[in-house]
Amino acid sequence: MFKKLLWAKVACIASLSALMFTSCGSDEKDNVEDQLKELTQSCDVDFSSEVATGEFMGESFTFVKGIAKKDSFDKDKHRFVLYGEESEHVLCDPFLSYPTKSIIFTVPLEVGLYELSLENGLTFNDASVVNSVNAVGSICGGIEITSVTDTEVSGKIDAYADEDNGFNGTFTVSICEDSAFF
């Protein structure tokens, strides 16, 4: 479903862009530009100062714990995983089970504001679901890394996918040491 929604949005933006560049009259061009601006304005970021909370596949979800580890596909970024429940295990151990619901995104491990986009998305992931949709992606919103130490990263998140999946607020996660296993 996410892929269909994502491709529909991409197709819509591409179509509007094509219309904008092929339009003969300036009134038509202005109208297309206004429509394009309206589409992207719904993604404005407004960070909450409270602990991150929101909707996860239609259920209430509040950040409890998380990790950041080097991304195996892009060494300039870290993969953040936010959980809404405590884990009985050390979260940096790749061989132990983790809470099933997680919010996953990758950004550089540097203070800064990172806008969600097609290249820099966020996933609401439910590992308990088998043979059905278990992930919903978000390209609407942003992530701000506010503090980085040797052991922790703090930040803010405002991500929206649809009426059943949205998350806003602050978080602090542990940094996992590099490992060949993940």
| pLDDT per position as a tens digit, 58-71 | 999 999 999 999 98
Q: How high does pLDDT run on average in the chain? A: 78
pLDDT at 87: 72
Stronger pLDDT, 24 or 68, i.e. the higher one = 68
Residue 4 tokens, joined: 């269909």
The set of long-range contacts for 11-17, using a CB threshold of 8 Å and a minimum separation of 24, is: 12/39, 13/39
CA-nearest of 105, 101, 79, 103 to 92 is 79
53 contacts: CB under 8 Å, gap ≥ 6: 60, 61, 62, 63, 167, 168, 169
pTM above 0.75, yes or no: no
Band (pLDDT 50/70/90 cuts) for residue 166 is very high
